[in-house]
Amino acid sequence: MTTISVLGLGAMGSALAGALIKAGHTVTVWNRTQSRVQPLMTLGARGAATPGEAVAASELVVVCLLDYASVEAVLAGAEKALSGRVVANLTTGTPKQARSLATWVEAQEATYVDGGIMAVPPMIGTPQSFIFYSGSEPAFERHKAAFELFGDAFFVGPDAGLAPLNDIALLGILDGLLSGYLHAAALIRASGGSAEAFTPLAVRWAGSMASLFPDLARQIDRGDYRAEGGSNLAMQAAAMDQMVEAARDEGVDPIFIEPMRTLIHRRVTDGFGTDDSAGVIELLFLNGR
């Protein structure tokens, strides 16, 4: 068991610290608002009065704060203690922010690991939780056993920006699922139906559509979208027109599905009507693929 420090005891930081304590680690915690420290001390953590004191206490320093601005401010206050430490920053941010913070941390003679948490606090330490890591692979490997206490640990590369990149990529799927589900439920409710009664088949449908991802991935990596599955874009353009019209007829704003309709029509106009839907991705690359 190693000693580990945790900076930030919000909902997520408290869950991370709790998992480390439960596994028997000696854990030092710091939080800006003191009232959040006491529950962790009751579980067995040591409280630090300042971020510097917490950083000085352990080689591995897990940081989970609101955003990168708060991380930068807190670490700047602990600057003198950082040399020789491994900073594992599990705060949500952008790839650019992670790369910039990694450069600053390394300038303090410390090592940087970034993490993108794919779980909500009650899931930490359960089989539902997984976390992307990037940055220093030797530091990740050295502390992997501790990271695995939070959930499955996936190292995605030495570029510190890769963990947040994978994180926001998966969050995009969440947004797509949520907007699709809300559109569907609005249609059902607007015509007097029950969202609860409809939802079991919505779950089944989402699962069967997700099972198509590997086929889409193969076409995307090859850049070859010639029709394989019988759902060409010209057919889908006509279907999307009907979906938008039907939503309006039923008193539902088609705002969630209109962007997809626009993209599919653009792709058909560009001459790719016989292709599969994955080809729409070509319209998303702002700087070429």
Q: Which residues bind ligand FVH (CB under 6 A)?
A: 8-13, 31-33, 36, 64-67, 70, 73-74, 91-92, 117, 120-121
- Where does 136-254 show beta strands of DSSP type E? 152-155
Cβ-based nearer residue to ligand FVH, 11 or 239: 11
Q: Give the nearer residue to ligand FVH in terms of CB position, either 13 or 279.
A: 13
Q: Kindly state the smallest distance separating residue 40's Cβ from ligand FVH, in Å.
A: 11
Q: Among all residues, whose Cβ is closest to ligand FVH?
A: 10
Instruction: Please check whether residue 14 is in contact with residue 39, taking contact to mean a CB–CB distance below 8 angstroms.
Output: yes
Write down the least CB distance from residue 275 to ligand FVH, Å: 36
Instruction: Please state, as a whole number, how many other Cβ atoms lie within 10 Å of the Cβ of residue 65.
Output: 24
If the CB atoms of residues 16 and 237 are measured against ligand FVH, the closer one turns out to be 16
Least CB distance to ligand FVH at residue 186 (A) = 25
State which residue, 119 or 233, has the beta carbon closest to ligand FVH: 119
Smallest distance, Å, CB 78 to ligand FVH?
11
Residue 118 or 260 with smaller CB distance to ligand FVH: 118
Tell me whether residue 91 or residue 219 sits nearer to ligand FVH (CB atom). 91
Least distance to ligand FVH, CB of residue 9, Å: 5
Task: Give the amino acid at 39.
Answer: P
Residue 58 beta carbon to ligand FVH: minimum distance, rounded to whole angstroms: 18
| Among candidate residues 70, 57, 72, the one with its CA nearest the CA of residue 25 | 57
Angle between helices 195-210 and 162-190 (to 10 degrees): 140
Contacts (Cβ under 8 Å, ≥6 apart) of 7? 13, 29, 30, 31, 51, 54, 55, 61, 62, 63, 64, 65, 74
Least distance (Å) between residue 16 CB and ligand FVH: 9
Task: Decide: residue 98, CB within 10 A, 0-12 exposed, 13-18 middle, 19+ buried.
Answer: buried
With beta carbons less than 8 A apart as the criterion, state whether 58 and 2 touch. yes
Helix (H) or strand (E) segment spanning residue 134? strand 130-135
Q: Which is nearer to ligand FVH, 123 or 235 (CB)?
A: 123
* Other CB atoms within 10 A of residue 223 CB: 11
Bin 251: left if φ > 0, else alpha if -120 < ψ < 50, else beta: left
31: left (phi over 0), alpha (psi -120 to 50) or beta: beta
